[in-house]
Homo-oligomer: A and B are copies of this chain.
């Protein structure tokens, strides 16, 4: 049963399992104690720290283990902001950071701090010059992911790190998605990561803070992990995390090249196999194992459900698959279609046969969902005499508003407009994205008295 959601959590690497088992017996005691069980635990902890630091590219005393990547991000951001309080209260982040970074930013803003979001282009990448321009005086910290978790696009970390150095602003790099593939290039100041993304166990994050970076841990602390991560160390999991990081790094070059070729195949063939699809994210500067595409006129939740029935586990940034009913902030920031969104992230060892089976199954699944939703399949009908039409999609969820737009666009003459009334948050993103894909003109939106929004589209072809 192929599992294609490695970017959420990877199955445990055999080396992680082996190390975990061994250290359940050897590493359960308190490493702060002086008796033999404690000394043994301390040795394991020290060795794990050295191995992890080597993979990260820092000194062992610059690295602490946290209970998760999320906690590493929270501790890193709050500590760095507090350490630079005298410089200013501005936090600069990309618009497509992981939610843990954005949540830390919300907390900072709620406490009176300032947060600047640097926008991204349609591929999901920030522009290094635009990022540099955001580093105004009073900036305490900048955050940039090494690669995006939803679309795989790599960020220009080395260039941004250089700009941060010039502006004397520390840069925190969230390397959660990339650390298993290799160290982060460039002069970062803080780095965070999460073991269960590379095949390590849950319960372990990494936080590296370079010597010389001002850092003031927030909240209660204790004597553990240099005062930066309170609570009894999760030692067996830490040992397993470090051992598996070393193991996946040894395989990274070969396995990365293999998965990159598989993903290239998906990127090329999905648009050939499935009509009305947009493959998103940078085609070249990207994670080796991850590809995301969006299918017009498809309900993301149904699509995931049908793929699950066929045996494929994938993820989605569509609004109907999230508890908030808003599309992924990443897709929104990129300005790309969010409906029928599918993220495929291949775990190490994924076979070509599994990918082929996925590509064989996908067209029928998408067609089935579209058919049930009554999506347009044929050529547009004859133009209506009127120059404009209004489609009332109030109360209908993604992808219905776009389906109804697509059905009637052929009924207005070239130069005429279709106004879609919708109260679904996803329409704000998906109607402009549909226009982009279809070569129609997106005129704009306006609030509608009595609720909802009117989206106006002009037919130009």
Contacts and interface: CB of A to CB of B under 8 A. Distances in A.
A203 B313 CA distance: 28
Contacts of A11: 28
A435 B69 CA distance: 53
A67 B29 contact: no
A383 to B, nearest CB: 42
Task: Bin chain A's interface residue count.
Answer: 35 or more
A314 B36 CA distance: 10
B70 A222 contact: yes
A232 B99 contact: no
B308 A35 contact: yes
B305 A34 contact: yes
A205 B220 contact: no
A226 interface: no
Interface string A378-412: 00000000000000000000000000000000000
B24 A20 contact: yes
B1 A36 contact: yes
B36 A308 contact: yes
A202 B12 contact: no
A8 B33 contact: yes
Interface stretch (A103-111, A129-137, A367-375): A103-111
Interface string A57-79: 00000000001111100100010
A74 B34 contact: no
Contacts of A313: 29, 33, 35-38
Counting chain B CB atoms within 10 Å of each CB, the highest count among A3, A28, A203, A323 belongs to A203
Interface stretch (A234-242, A254-262, A270-278, A354-362): A234-242
Given A9-B232, A34-B321, A219 B107 contact: yes
Given A35-B304, A201-B236, A313-B37, A67 B231 contact: yes
A100 interface: yes
A219 B222 contact: no
Contacts of A307: 35
A230 interface: yes
A227 to B, nearest CB: 10
5 contacts: A3-B29, A21-B21, A68-B230, A74-B230, A202-B232
Given A21-B21, A223-B323, 16 more contacts: A8-B30, A9-B29, A24-B201, A28-B202, A33-B313, A35-B308, A38-B313, A67-B68, A70-B231, A71-B231, A100-B230, A103-B222, A107-B220, A201-B234, A202-B232, A237-B237
Listed from nearest, the 8 A-B pairs whose CB atoms lie closest are A67-B67, A68-B231, A203-B234, A35-B313, A70-B231, A103-B220, A203-B203, A8-B30
